[in-house]
Each structure stands twice: as structure tokens, then as C-alpha cells.
Amino acid sequence: MDYLRKRAIQSLVTIFLILVVNFVLFRVIPGNPVRILIRGPGMTQEIIDKYTKLFGLNKPLHVQFYRYILETFQGNLGISFSYQQPVMGILLERLYNTLILLFPATLISIGLGMLLGIISAWKRGSKIDYFLQIFSLGFWSIPTFWLGMIFIMVFGGYFAVGGMSTPGMDYPNLFAYLKDLFNHMFLPALTLALIMHGQYFMIMRSQLIEELTESYTQTAKAKGLAPTSILEKHTVPNAMLPMTTLISVNIAILIAGFITIETVFSWPGLGTLIYKAILQRDYPILQGVLLFLAVSVVFANFAADIIYSQIDPRVKYE
């Protein structure tokens, strides 16, 4: 319980500090925010004053900060410059598309990473082990967007390479829709899965080797258990424990991956939203998505730690 409470307080402090960073960043941009918002000639002092007052930018900083926190908790992330709509609405709509892509990609990458990791650890020192290590490290070392571009060039004739669905297509039934979605999703999801599996592979491999040299594994071997059942019943479950915390380690690759891969395949998710926001200097969108992703990461870490402490009692005594 103590551990849980400690981690909860830590997470809250982190979220608060993220809010502070977010607030400060927006206020160190060179230039006046009102001028950036209303890009156009003929700006009179009168108009600037009006908007400065409207946005509360004439108030002292601590009042602005208080207002910022209040509005954020009410779900108001500001208005997008380019869409002229609330950031929150745009974000939620795009989030759904991103999750559709990320969910299968993550599952495949975890499965692939674990499977190859187990094979590699079991056959460590062999040619297969070396090959698998090069394979995983190789994909880890590639920029995601570059692999995506290669896939477009090589497989572009077999799969759709832009967007989520065929424009103007009328679906007779759900099955036809899913088929079209799969056709569009295959290449970006495959790219992401291949790039991301490396981390899972490396952790699985090194953890499993650690477990394989533990005395309980030797005991199981001495008792005459079959190698596959030692793996299945004894070592793999133990080696999987740190995989839960890997969510946090892997999140950077995940984020870099989906932002660029969505851009390459014009997938209408958060990634393309960020890409366009950079091009159009749509700061409220950037700020809103940063905040959203940062808070999600904190929650993911918190959840991973709690799960870890539940399934591995040793953690509490540290």
C-alpha cells in the first residue's frame, strides 16, 4: 500500500511539473502570442490590446497560470490556429485512428520480440543467436520512416499506401470495410512492429539468460524436466516480469515511430496532426498533444509499476 501511495504521489507531482513546463514553454516563444495568432497586416494597437485582454495576457503570470491549470482540468486545451476549432475535439478524433494502428502493431511487436528472444536465449552462442541479435539490433537502428518509404517502394503495388480507407468507397457490409482497413493498415503496422520488436527481444533475451543460470532452473533440469517445460513453466514467466516495465522504456520509440509512420502513410492520426501542426506553426495543437502524450506516459508508467509490484512481491521490499 505504501509503495502504491508513494508512486501515486510521484505521478501527480510529475503531471504538475509537466503542466508547468507546458505553461512556461508557450511563454518563451519569441514574439507576442497575439501577433502570432493574428498573422496579417494592419494590426492596430487597439486590436492587439483587445485580444491581449480577451486572452487574459495582461494579467500577472501567476493568475495566468492558475487560469491555465483550471481550464486544462476542464478539458479546454485552447483553439487550434489552423482548424479554428477546440484542440480537445480534434485530438480525441485523431486519437481513435492512432489507437487502431498502434494496438495491432504493438501486439505483433511484443509477440515477435518475445518469441525471437526465447529462441535466442535458449540457443545462446549459436549461429541462430547471432543472426537473431543482428536482425533485431538492425531494425532497432533504422529510422522508422525510412523503412516505411522502402516498404512503399517495394510493396506499394500490393497494398494501399495512403490514408485509412479508399476515398469515395461505399462499403456494402462491415466485412468489406474491415478488409479495406486491413489493406491500408498492413504496411504501416508491419513497419512499426518490426522497428519496435527489438527492445522486447533484447529484454526477453537477457532476462531469460539470467533466469536460465538461476539455481531453480538447474534444479528443474536435475529433476529431469523437459527443456520446453522448463521454459514454459519456470523461466519464461519469471523473465516476463520486467517486460511490464518496458512500456515506459519503449514509449519513446513508439512515439517517434507512430508520428513519422503516420506521416509517411498519411494515416489520419495524432502523428499527421503533429506533422501538420509543425508545418503550420499551430502551437496550440502541439501544446495540447504534448500535454496529452506526457500525461498518458505518466499513467502508463504508473500502471506498469503497480502491475509489476502485484506480480513480483520482491519489489515492495526495495
Q: What angle do CA 249, 254, 256 make, to 5 degrees?
A: 110
Residue 159's contacts (CB-CB under 8 Å, 6 or more residues apart) are 183, 184, 186, 187
Q: Contact between 106 and another protein (CB under 8 A)? A: no
Residue 189 or 298 having the CB closest to another protein: 298
Q: Contact between 4 and another protein (CB under 8 A)? A: no
Q: Contact between 18 and another protein (CB under 8 A)? A: yes
Q: Contact between 306 and another protein (CB under 8 A)? A: no
Q: Contact between 235 and another protein (CB under 8 A)? A: no
Q: Which grid cell sits at 35?
A: 501577433
Single-letter amino acid code for the residue at 192:
L
Least spacing, CB of residue 6 vs another protein, in Å:
11
Least spacing, CB of residue 177 vs another protein, in Å:
25
Least spacing, CB of residue 263 vs another protein, in Å:
7
DSSP-assigned letter for residue 214: S
Q: Which grid cell sits at 90?
A: 480534434
Q: CA–CA separation, 15 vs 21, rounded Å?
A: 10
Q: Contact between 255 and another protein (CB under 8 A)? A: yes
Least spacing, CB of residue 212 vs another protein, in Å:
10
Exposed/middle/buried for residue 61 (C-beta within 10 Å: 0-12, 13-18, 19+): exposed
Q: Which grid cell sits at 52?
A: 491581449
Residue in the structure block whose three cell numbers are 535458449? 122
Which stretches of the chain bind another protein, using CB under 8 A?
Answer: 10-11, 13-14, 17-18, 21, 25-26, 28-30, 124-125, 130, 133-134, 137-138, 140-143, 145-147, 149-150, 152-153, 156, 161, 202, 206, 209-210, 213, 248, 251-252, 255-256, 259-260, 263-264, 274-275, 278-279, 281, 283, 286-287, 289-290, 293-294, 297-298, 301
